[in-house]
Amino acid sequence: MGRHDSGGRAGGHAGRGSQSGAISGDLVDPPTQLLTPVSAGGPPDRGRAIVRGVGEVLITLGLIVLLFVAYEVYITDLFSAGKQRDAVSNLDDTWRDEPADPQRVDHFDGLAEGEGFAKLYIPAFGSDYSFAVLEGTSAATLEIGPGHYRDTAYPGEPGNFAVAGHRVGKGSPFNDLDLLSSCDAIVVETRNSWFTYRVLPMDDERAGWAAGPGTRATCGAVTPLGGAYEDVVGREIVRPTEGSVVLPVPRRPDLRPSAGERASLLTLTTCHPKFSDRQRMIVHAVLVEQAAKDPAQPNLRPTAMEES
């Protein structure tokens, strides 16, 4: 998605072009002594040999780095794409064997590590953006697709439905989280229901929300949260050790509100910046709509799915 760079290839031609660029000024007859050939048996130029050797080592290391980047960006994406297709197919088969029932509530008890239980859509990323969400956040699970943090809420439940995903390589499901804006929809599909979450106001938007971004049509059900949630914003960058962002009240380990006092949040986490795990990017969204699936209209989807 715009993350691949062809600069290395173009740069490789610079050396040949520089030879012609170095010839400049007037051509004059060189002094005679400069034309005297050097004896073939003279001492080797050790400095030049060292520089050449160092250059060859650096070129080799550069090629190794480029191959590693290509593997991480392209090859692991291909492997993960196949695994994700299998996960989606398995989930579809499961739902087909037991069709949606509008009178039933989804239950997620006993899910095994790597088992799919929902689908995630972000309409702002295009109509083809869809990933099966799997249980757990082990390395093997995240190579397949986004993984649900165990011990956090499930879709639609009060609390914090928290999901991790890779940003670069291994399917790159969360590559573009930095492009999400406040009020953008994040839709979650389960066997029986659709849940529409919307990204919370960004930190610099909260002060003038009502007269500014809050006037957008998609922001009708979104306002800055108050009370225990007043510090929860749409996007933040944290240290990798900041696990409190997936708590029922993010960043507040001292608070354990009852289910009736909890907001229904969705939190997405990924590495930051790209090609680094030095920090984590966190996106918080709030549940604004829930709709039961209609077996008589299996193709009916939330209106938020049409946004782009």
Is 299 part of any domain? yes
Asked if residue 107 is part of any domain, the answer here is yes
Residue 68 counted as domain residue? no
Within a domain: residue 179?
Answer: yes
Share of the chain above pLDDT 70, in %: 81
Q: 2 pLDDT band (50/70/90 cuts)?
A: very low
Answer positive or negative: Cα dihedral of 267, 268, 273, 278.
positive
| Count of structural domains within the chain | 1
Q: Is residue 55 part of a domain?
A: no
Q: Which of 91-105, 128-142, 152-166 has the lowest mean pLDDT?
A: 91-105
pLDDT exceeds cutoff 60 at 4: no
Domain membership of residue 247 as a residue range: 74-306
Q: Is residue 166 part of a domain?
A: yes
CATH number of domain containing 202: 2.40.260.10
Cβ(297)–Cβ(113) under 8 Å? no
In a domain, 32, yes or no: no
What are 50-90's pLDDT values in tens digits? 888 888 787 877 767 666 555 565 676 788 899 999 999 99
Residue-level pLDDT at 119: 98
Q: For residues 146 and 171, what is the distance between their CA atoms, to the nearest angstrom? A: 9
Using a 10 angstrom Cβ sphere, with 0-12 exposed, 13-18 middle and 19 or more buried, the burial of residue 136 is middle
pLDDT tens per residue across span 34-47? 444 544 544 568 88
Measured in Å, how far apart are the chain's first and last C-alpha atoms? 16
Residue 49 lies in a domain: no
| Predicted confidence (pLDDT) per residue in 150-195, tens digit | 999 999 999 999 999 999 988 999 999 999 999 999 999 999 999 9
Q: What is the pLDDT of residues 284-307, one digit of tens each?
A: 999 999 999 988 898 899 999 999
Q: Please classify residue 161 by burial: count the beta carbons closer than 10 Å to its beta carbon, then call 0-12 exposed, 13-18 middle and 19+ buried.
A: buried
pTM over 0.85: no
Higher pLDDT, 266 or 70: 266
